[in-house]
């Protein structure tokens, strides 16, 4: 999928540093017709991989964002952390213009929260207002398991509050 669709990846579970994908710089990993090289890694839990298709002689670059602060316990990280992650992914999307794949171990708990927050922020930019319940309800028509816990809704509100508080600190006037 990564090769066919040229997608970026948001990995919401802590990376298994012993897994073969976590290469040291200059190492190479091979699976069938694909070779993977780690090009760069920065302190903000972001790395860039190069994927070479050995038969087609094609090469693509893949950005991988990891959420190492989001532990297996499913307790989301601080709102500031999540807003920063969302902003970094958005910046990548605007620069690269590629689809983004969001993954977590169970396929819904963390990725559902991430996707819901992304859609909430997008709706805020477009409409300058937000109804978190409606955004989540729309997601749940296709994926009912997304945002199944009250704590996840509450976390969405905390993130939006943090964003609005930050905006009001940055401006001279604000309507609160």
pLDDT tens digits along 113-156? 989 999 999 999 899 888 999 999 999 999 999 888 888 889 99
* pLDDT surpasses 50 at 172: no
How far apart, in whole angstroms, are the C-alpha atoms of residue 125 and residue 110?
Answer: 23
Mean pLDDT of the residues in the chain = 77
pLDDT tens digits along 82-92? 999 899 888 88
> Which positions ≥6 away from 90 have C-beta within 8 Å?
118
Domain assignment present for residue 125? The answer is yes
**What is the model's pLDDT at position 33?**
75
- Measured distance between the N- and C-terminal CA atoms of the chain, rounded to whole angstroms: 44
**What is the model's pLDDT at position 109?**
83
Domain assignment present for residue 13? The answer is yes
Domain assignment present for residue 110? The answer is yes
Domain assignment present for residue 176? The answer is no
What CATH code is carried by the domain that includes residue 95? 3.90.190.10
Domain assignment present for residue 8? The answer is yes
**What is the model's pLDDT at position 47?**
73
pLDDT tens digits along 5-28? 445 566 666 555 555 555 556 666
- The rounded radius of gyration (Å) of the Cα atoms in the chain is 18
Domain assignment present for residue 76? The answer is yes
How far apart, in whole angstroms, are the C-alpha atoms of residue 127 and residue 85?
Answer: 22
Percent of the chain exceeding pLDDT 70 equals 72
Domain assignment present for residue 155? The answer is yes
Task: Output 136 or 48, whichever has higher pLDDT.
Answer: 136
pTM of the model: 0.76
Considering its fold, how many domains does the chain have in total?
Answer: 1
Print the domain residue range for 22. 2-169
Tokens 């200059």 correspond to: 26
Domain assignment present for residue 115? The answer is yes
**What is the model's pLDDT at position 174?**
47
- The alpha carbon of residue 112 and the mean position of all alpha carbons in its chain are separated, in whole angstroms, by 10
pLDDT tens digits along 66-109? 777 776 666 688 999 899 989 988 888 888 787 778 888 787 88
DSSP state for residue 24 in the 8-state scheme: P
């Amino acid at each position: 999928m990564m090769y066919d669709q040229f997608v970026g990846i948001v990995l919401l579970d802590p990376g298994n540093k012993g897994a073969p994908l976590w290469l040291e710089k200059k190492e190479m990993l091979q699976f069938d017709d694909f070779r993977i090289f780690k090009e760069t890694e920065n302190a903000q839990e972001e790395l860039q991989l190069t994927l070479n298709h050995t038969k087609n002689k094609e090469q693509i670059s893949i950005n991988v964002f990891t959420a190492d602060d989001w532990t297996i316990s499913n307790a989301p990280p601080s709102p500031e952390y999540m807003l920063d992650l969302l902003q970094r992914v958005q910046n990548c999307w605007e620069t690269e213009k590629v689809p983004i794949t969001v993954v977590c171990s169970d396929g819904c708990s963390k990725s559902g929260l991430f996707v819901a927050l992304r859609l909430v922020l997008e709706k805020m930019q477009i409409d300058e207002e937000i109804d978190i319940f409606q955004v989540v309800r729309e997601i749940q028509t296709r994926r009912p398991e997304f945002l199944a816990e009250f704590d996840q809704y509450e976390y969405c509100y905390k993130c939006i509050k943090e964003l609005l508080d930050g905006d009001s600190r940055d401006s001279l006037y604000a309507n609160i």
